[in-house]
């Protein structure tokens, strides 16, 4: 079958690899009907050292279960399912606490003997704990983009909002106008934020942020951005800040625009070993939390809003490609020509 | 009158300075009956550049109100009061939210035209918002040490526990065996932690920590300490970690011993501009919060437990001096000869 393999920064190829099969009794094999390219895929696309074996790519998918191992009981061949970006057993203490990304058996697609989801198919470990059966048909083209966001970006934006303590009637700010930031706007509105400030400078993304509920836009950077957010929030900053980038500058901005006593929810993968502004965060009693979103645990809460059309996170997809179009999809996202690319293998 | 002035690292002097007086109508003048030396005073004691004018020292006190300005109505001459380490107006949005240390008029004793509390007397700005009238007499020598901790260390330890999300039945770890860490043990027990691990290596402090409710002691440092805490907590770390030091190594340890999904409550004043272990904190969804404790807001909750003898944080004082003994008190705390020194001016 065909799958996406990255060999070095800027070098993404579609290659023939062995078909997946059941290895463990808890496995399922998934035929991928929708996948996508993630903003986090752009980090290796910008910096990966050349590799002979390459890195199998993709961690977001909707697909049809083709086969299951003997211990799988929650999903069956023929089921349409959403696949969260991490697999988890569904039974450990962390899964029970709703932190599936800390599962004692957690793993990430494209690693540990499992190929990535930008492919025709893949093996899914711990299928019972990982996969979530969808109550729609494979042919529901209208709902499919929004349902696909449950595998990562909508759950991740929601996690940022939850960790940032978004509260009805208060101010939220979203640092980053990528797909996760835009889903963060949806999440902040859904949780009742009265004011939602999007920090970004790309016209198409800002327009979508406004459609999703952003009330203010700040396109400055650095000290000017901080000043502008303070002006917009009565001088004190936002109660909740969603950090959806992961660079030192964006983390610094996130901490500096937080109101004293406020919280920053980080979901942008941090690119530096240390966090800036430890002292300002301390003196303002700003809490910094977040991490890999337990999107599996959030599906129950978010799915009804997608099915009923109350939220439409699928609008972050502005381009659809087949597998052959994946390499160009990476390029388009890297140069900000596209917000997020959907893949129909 | 006489007061404590620091002129350089290791150079603490008792000097004659002008008597305090009412300057603003919201001021009170306090005759200090008890003050103390704080662990945070040891930072400048270790590193202060020589200064001709010097730095007036001390921010914790109990005293008797001697005079009040025309706008003061909540306290009256003759009242015995506890003075939190920061002054606050009691009326702004942050004070109403319980974050008095973010008050729009916040200030710190020893600065901004106000002398420190290691003195015979001092001027207290925003007396109505700052001072808390105590329901005991000036001569209640037994309760006085514990009541004095409401001005800083007990409220600060409590803040660490609150921010770290100490929960009944869960595990808490306290990094640092100074007075604040020891009060953190009291706070963790008071909030119901089932397991309380004190990280420290001074015998006298560890003995007191056990008396306060610590169930386990870890005297290793670095990787060994992390390994030991994991062993003590079923392999995963502590749900709540109270960081009561502020050094890079202690922050690193605090983050590394936190359970995935857990929280670190920082009250040790951070000595570095950046925070270590940003990536481990992220990948484990560990929240890091805290800052200057709003001790004024916590007095209502903590005072009854002191009056009834349910908690005895005053046991952290193991030495009492007059003003003349203050310089030697700094020395004794700096060399860990004393946990915390009380001053009777």
pLDDT tens-digit profile of A137-188? 999 999 999 999 999 999 999 999 999 999 999 999 999 999 999 999 999 9
Q: Which of A275, A277, A280, A296 is the best mutation test for B, with the most CBs of B within 10 A? A: A275
Mean of the pLDDT values across residues B137-153?
97
Which pLDDT does position B112 carry in this prediction? 83
Half-sphere exposure of A99 (CA within 13 A, CB side): 19
Cβ neighbours of A292 in B, within 8 Å: 282-283, 285
Cβ neighbours of B163 in A, within 8 Å: 287
Q: Of A8, A286, A324, A309, nearest to B266 (Cα)?
A: A286
- Separation in Å, CA of B271 to nearest CA in chain A: 8
pLDDT tens-digit profile of B290-312? 999 999 999 999 999 999 999 99
* pLDDT above 90: residue B39: yes
Q: Which SS3 state, helix, strand or coil, does residue B59 take?
A: coil
Cβ neighbours of A291 in B, within 8 Å: 281-286
Residues 6+ apart with CB under 8 A from B157: B180, B181, B182, B183, B184, B185, B186, B187, B242, B244, B267, B313
Mean of the pLDDT values across residues B58-71?
98
Q: Of B152, B100, B107, B103, nearest to B125 (Cα)?
A: B107
Which pLDDT does position A112 carry in this prediction? 83
Mean pLDDT of all residues belonging to chain B: 97
Residues 6+ apart with CB under 8 A from B272: A278, A279, B247, B248, B251
Q: Contact B216/B225 with Cβ under 8 angstroms?
A: no
Interface contact A270-B287, CB threshold 8 A: no
* pLDDT above 90: residue A253: yes
pLDDT grade for A255, boundaries at 50, 70 and 90: very high
Q: Which SS3 state, helix, strand or coil, does residue A74 take?
A: coil
Q: Which SS3 state, helix, strand or coil, does residue B246 take?
A: coil
H/E element holding B304? helix B295-307
* Contact residues of A toward B, CB < 8 A: 93-94, 97, 99, 101-102, 163, 236, 251, 260-261, 263, 266, 269-270, 272-279, 281-292, 294
Considering the segment(s) B2-152+294-343 as one domain, its CATH architecture is: Alpha-Beta Complex (3.90)
Pick the CATH number of B156-290 from 3.40.50.360, 3.40.50.720, 3.40.225.10, 1.20.140.10: 3.40.50.720
Give the domain ranges of chain B.
2-152+294-343, 156-290
User: How long a stretch of residues is chain A?
Assistant: 345
Interface contact B274-A275, CB threshold 8 A: yes
Q: Of A163, A156, A175, nearest to A251 (Cα)?
A: A175
Which pLDDT does position B159 carry in this prediction? 98
Q: Contact B286/B262 with Cβ under 8 angstroms?
A: yes
Residue with tokens 């951005």: A225
H helices of B54-152, in order, are: 93-96, 127-130, 144-148
Interface contact A269-B278, CB threshold 8 A: no
- Separation in Å, CA of B294 to nearest CA in chain A: 10
pLDDT tens-digit profile of B184-204? 999 999 999 999 999 999 999
- Separation in Å, CA of A288 to nearest CA in chain B: 5
Q: How far apart are CA B96 and CA B111, in angstroms?
A: 24
Cβ neighbours of B284 in A, within 8 Å: 102, 291
Interface contact A278-B281, CB threshold 8 A: no
Interface contact B273-A277, CB threshold 8 A: yes
CATH topology of domain A157-290: Rossmann fold (3.40.50)
């Amino acid at each position: 079958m065909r799958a996406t393999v990255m060999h070095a920064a800027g070098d993404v190829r579609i290659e023939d690899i062995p078909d997946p099969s059941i290895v463990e009794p808890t496995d399922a094999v998934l035929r991928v009907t929708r996948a996508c390219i993630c903003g986090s895929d752009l980090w290796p696309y910008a910096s990966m050292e050349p590799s002979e074996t390459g890195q199998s790519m993709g961690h977001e998918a909707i697909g049809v279960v083709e086969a299951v191992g003997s211990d799988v009981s929650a999903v069956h061949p023929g089921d349409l399912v959403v696949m969260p970006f991490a697999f988890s057993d569904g039974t450990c203490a962390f899964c029970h606490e709703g932190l599936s990304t800390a599962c004692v058996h957690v793993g990430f697609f494209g690693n540990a003997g499992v190929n990535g989801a930008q492919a025709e198919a893949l093996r899914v470990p711990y299928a019972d704990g990982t996969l979530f059966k969808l109550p729609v048909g494979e042919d529901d083209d209208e709902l499919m983009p929004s349902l696909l966001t449950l595998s990562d970006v909508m759950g991740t934006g929601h996690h940022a909002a939850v960790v940032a303590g978004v509260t009805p009637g208060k101010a939220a700010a979203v640092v980053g106008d990528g797909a996760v930031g835009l889903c963060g706007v949806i999440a902040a509105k859904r949780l009742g934020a009265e004011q939602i400030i999007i920090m970004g400078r790309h016209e198409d993304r800002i327009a979508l942020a406004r459609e999703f509920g952003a009330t203010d836009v700040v396109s400055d950077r650095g000290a000017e951005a901080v000043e502008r957010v303070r002006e917009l929030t009565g001088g004190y900053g936002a109660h909740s800040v969603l950090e959806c980038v992961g660079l030192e500058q964006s983390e610094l901005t996130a901490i500096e625009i937080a109101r004293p006593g406020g919280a920053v929810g980080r979901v942008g993968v941090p690119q530096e070993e240390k966090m800036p502004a430890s002292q300002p965060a301390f003196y303002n009693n700003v809490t910094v939390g977040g991490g890999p979103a337990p999107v599996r645990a959030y599906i129950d809460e978010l799915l009804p809003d997608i099915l009923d059309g109350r939220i439409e996170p699928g609008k972050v997809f502005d381009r659809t490609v087949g597998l052959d179009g994946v390499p160009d999809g990476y390029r388009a996202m890297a140069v900000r020509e596209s917000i997020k690319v959907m893949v129909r293998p």
